[in-house]
Amino acid sequence: MEDLLRNDYTAHYGLPLCIEPNLVIQTNETYFEIEDTVTREITLHTINGGGMARFSNPNAIAITITNYDKFVTSLPNHFQNGRKRCDIIVCDEGRNLILGELKDSPNIKQHRKKAKKQLYESLTTLLAVPQFLALTNNKTIKRCCYFNKQTSSPAILTATTAFNRLSLIFQDGFQMSHPAIEGQNFEFWEYLGGHTLTLT
Amino acid sequence: MKESIHIKNLGPIKDIFIEDIKPLTVLIGESGSGKSTLMKAIALFRWLYKMHNIRSYLKRSKVSKSPFRFRMDTYFKNCGFDEYLKNNPEIIYTVEFSDNRKYTLHFAKNKLTGTGDNDLVQIQDLYYNKLSFISETRNIIPLWAERGASLTGGYLGFYFHEVYNDFDLASENIKDLDINYLNLKLSVKKVQSNKKYFIQAPNKEYELTLKNSSSGTQNAIPITLIAEHFSKHFDFEEAFNRSLLNFLSKTDNLTNFKPVKNLGDIKKKLFIHIEEPELSLFPEAQCELISDLISKCFVSNSNSIDLIFSTHSPYIINHLNLLIKAYDSNQLVDEAKIEFEKVAVYQVDEGKIEDLIVKNQRIINTNSLSDTINNIYDKYNQLDKDGRLIEK
C-alpha cells in the first residue's frame, strides 16, 4: 500500500513523489487498537481502551496500517485543499482492505455523517488509481468503517451506560446502508465503543 | 404491493428516496428536520393512488365519465405544502407488483402525471385502500367533541378534521375500550343526542370526562381508539359501496355500471400515519403505547395495516428492538412483537434520511440516539476537568 500511494497514486494525479516519512505501521498482534493523535500520527495500543478502533487478529496476520490522512496532507495544496480524506487504510496480503475514519467524540450522528463523506470521497479518489482498483479485485472483505470510541458517564450515574447498552450486546460492529459505497462494491460499517473488527 | 417514493426539494426535504416503504416505518429526527413533511407526502400520494384505483375500477366497469379530477393545488394547500411550490418540488411514487407491473404517479413542474386513462390499474392489481392520518392536533379532539355542537362550521385545518372524523367513526363502533398502558378505560356514552367520552379508573374508582383527563391521556386515546377500530372493526365493503354510490350518483352513471370485479375479490389495505404518538407520555407509557399499537396493527388485527409514525423518542426506537427480539423468540412483550423484515427506521436530518437498520444483525442501530445523554455527561465531565464547578 505504501508503494502504491507514494508512486502510483501520485503519478496518477500528476503529483510529485511523496517523501513524507512514517506513513505505515505494521503489526501481527492478535489484538490491537489504533489511535489517531492530535498531531495526525497513528499509534498502536495492545491494551484495551487505548485507541479509537479495535481490531482482533486471531490468526496473527501481518497487517499494514497506512496513515492516509497524513499522506494526503503531505501532498501539494492544490490537490489536498478541500479534499475529504479518511484517517487510515488497513490491509494485508490476504483478503482484507479497510478504509477507516477514527473519532473520539460523543456526537455519533454528526460524526457519522461526516465520516461517511470522508470515507466515500477517499474511496472514489483511491479507486480512480488503476493500481488501487486492481488491488481491490483481489480482496473479498472490503469495508469503509466509521470507528468512534464512546465516552463514559460519571461513576455514580448509569444513564449513559444504559443508553449505550446496544454496543455491549453486539461486539462485531454494525453493517449499515450506504448505497454510494455499496455501488463501489465496498460495505459501510460502524464500530462504536467496544465493537471490535475481527480480521480473518 | 411494494411502494417506493422519491422526493426532491419539498420544503425541508432536499432529496429523500425510500426504495421499499416497509409495513412499519418510523421516522425520527429533530424538529423541522422534515419528518412530518415526509409522512404527509407519503400519505398524500397513497391517497392519490387510492383514488386512481377507484377511477380505474370505475373505468374498467364501463363508467366512462370520470367522477373526479385531481386538484393538486388544493391537496398541497391541505398538506401545508403550498409555500413549497416555488422551489419546484418533485415527487415520484411507485407501486410495484410481481412480474414488474408498475404504476407511477409523478408530480413535477406543478403537474401530476400517471393518472390518465392510459395509466389505469390492471384488474388483478386493483386495491381498495383506506388511509388515516392521526395528526399532533389530536389533543383538541376531546374539547371539540365536547363542544362540537356549538362549533358547527368551525375549521381547525385539514388534518384535524381528518383525525376527528376517524375518531368519531371509531367511537360509533367501540363503546368501551381498555387502555391498558394507562390502566384506564374509555367509555363512550350517548347523552341526549350527543356522544360523551369518559375515562374510568380501575374498579370505577373515579370517572371524568376525556377533556378533563391528563394531556397524555388526551393525546393517546385517539390513537388507541382509531387503531382498534381499523384493526378489527373497519368495514371495507360499507366504505367502498358508500364511495362508489356517491360517485355514480354524482355522475348519473348508475345504469352504465357493470362491476369488473367483486369487492370481495379486490385486495384491501389500511394505512395509518401518526405524528408523535408519544406526546405528553412518560417514557414507560410511550413504550407501552407502541406495544399496544403494534399489537393492534400487526398481531391481533383482522385487517391488513401498514403503519408509519414520526417520533422524537429514543425510547420508542429502542423498544422496537425489544419487539423484534420478541418476534425472533416467538414470544410477546405486552401482547406485541414485530418481524424485523417488516421494520424500517429512518433518522431524518437536514432534508435527508439515514437508514438505521443494521444489515448484519436483526436490530435497529440506536447508537446515535444516545448522543444527547452522552453530550450531557461529556459536558459534566468537562466541567470537572476545567475546574469550573461552582464551589458551595
Percent of all residues in chain B with a pLDDT value above 70, rounded to a whole number: 95
Structural domains of chain B in order of their starting residue, each with its CATH number: 2-140+234-386 (3.40.50.300)
Q: How confident is the model at residue A154 (pLDDT cuts 50, 70, 90)?
A: low
Poorest-confidence range of A24-38, B87-101, B193-207, B322-336? B193-207
The band of A160, judged by pLDDT with boundaries at 50, 70 and 90, is: confident
Per-residue pLDDT at B61 exceeds 90 = no
Whether residue B106 is predicted with pLDDT greater than 60 in this model: the reply is yes
- Residues above pLDDT 90, as percent of chain B: 69
When pLDDT is averaged across residues B301-310 and rounded to a whole number, the result is 96
pLDDT(A159) > 80:
no
CA distance B209 to chain A (A): 38
DSSP assignment letter at A154:
-
Q: Can you give the pLDDT at residue B392?
A: 45
Look at the pTM and tell me if it is higher than 0.95. Answer: no
In this prediction, residue B264 carries a pLDDT of: 77
- For the residues B118-131, what does the mean pLDDT come to? 93
pLDDT score recorded for residue B389: 52
Mean pLDDT, rounded, for A63-84: 95
Average pLDDT over every residue of A52-64: 95
Are residues A107 and B375, on separate chains, in Cβ contact within 8 Å? yes
C-beta of residue B24 within 8 angstroms of C-beta of residue B342: yes
Q: Using CB atoms within 10 Å of the CB of residue B315, give its burial: 0 to 12 exposed, 13 to 18 middle, 19+ buried.
A: buried
Average pLDDT over residues B350-369: 94
A56-70, A95-109, B102-116, B235-249: lowest mean pLDDT where?
B235-249
pLDDT of A151 strictly over 70: no
Tell me which of B49 and B202 has the higher pLDDT.
B49
Any chain A CB within 8 A of the CB of B284?
no
SS3 letters across chain B: CEEEEEEEEECCEEEEEECCCCCEEEEEECCCCCHHHHHHHHHHHHHHHHHHHHHHHHHHCCCCCCCCCCCHHHHHHHHCCHHHHHHCCEEEEEEECHHHCEEEEEEECCEEECCCHHHCCCHHHCEEEEEEEECHHHHHHHHHHHHHHHHCCCCCCHHHHHHHHHHHHHHHHCCEEEEHHHCEEEEEEEECCEEEEEEECHHHCCEEEHHHCCHHHHHHHHHHHHHHHHHHHCCHHHHHHHHHHHHHHHHCCCCCCCCCCCHHHCEEEEEEEEECCCCCCCHHHHHHHHHHHHHHHHHCCCCCEEEEEEECCHHHHHHHHHHHHHHHCCCCECCECCCHHHEEEEEEECCEEEECECCCCCCECCHHHHHHHHHHHHHHHHHHHHCCCCCC
pLDDT on residue A78: 94
| Mutant choice from B367, B385, B389 vs A, greatest count of A C-beta within 10 A | B367
pLDDT above 60 (res B357): yes
B321 and chain A: CB distance < 8 Å anywhere?
yes
Closest CA to A143 of A61, A84, A86: A86
State whether B374 and A108 contact (CB < 8 Å).
Answer: yes
pLDDT tens-place string over residues B153-210: 677 778 888 889 999 999 998 999 999 999 999 999 988 878 899 999 988 788 999 9
pLDDT at B236 (0 to 100):
85
Q: What is the mean pLDDT of residues B355-360?
A: 96
A175 contacts B368? CB cut-off 8 A: no
Q: Hey, is the C-beta of B367 within 8 angstroms of any chain A C-beta?
A: yes
Q: Does the structure show a pLDDT above 50 at A88? A: yes
Q: Taking 80 as the threshold, does the pLDDT of residue B353 lie above it?
A: yes
Q: What residues does each domain of chain A span?
A: 2-198
Q: Tell me if A164 and B374 make a contact (CB, 8 A cut-off).
A: yes
Distance (Å, rounded) from C-alpha A25 to C-alpha A132? 19
CA nearest B359 in A: which residue? A175
Q: Please give, rounded to a whole number of angstroms, the shortest distance from the CA of A113 to a CA of chain B.
A: 9
| Choice among B53-57, B208-212, B244-248, B287-291 with the minimum mean pLDDT | B244-248
Say whether residue A176 is in contact with chain B using an 8 A CB cutoff: yes
Give me the pLDDT at residue A80, please.
93
Instruction: Give percent above pLDDT 90 in chain A.
Output: 74
Nearest to A10 by CA among A18, A20, A2: A18
Per the CB < 8 Å rule, is A174 touching B358? yes
Q: What is the pLDDT of residue B15?
A: 97
- At B67 the pLDDT is 67
Query: How confident is the model over B274-296, as a mean pLDDT?
Result: 97
Q: Is the C-alpha dihedral spanning B335, B340, B341, B342 positive or negative?
A: positive
The whole-chain average pLDDT of chain B stands at 90
Span A168-192, average pLDDT:
93
A103 interface with B at CB cutoff 8 Å = no
How far apart are the C-alpha atoms of B366 and B358, rounded to whole Å?
10
Mean pLDDT on A124-143: 96
User: Which pLDDT value is given to residue B339?
Assistant: 98
- Residue A153, pLDDT > 60, answer no
Q: How confident is the model at residue B331 (pLDDT cuts 50, 70, 90)?
A: very high
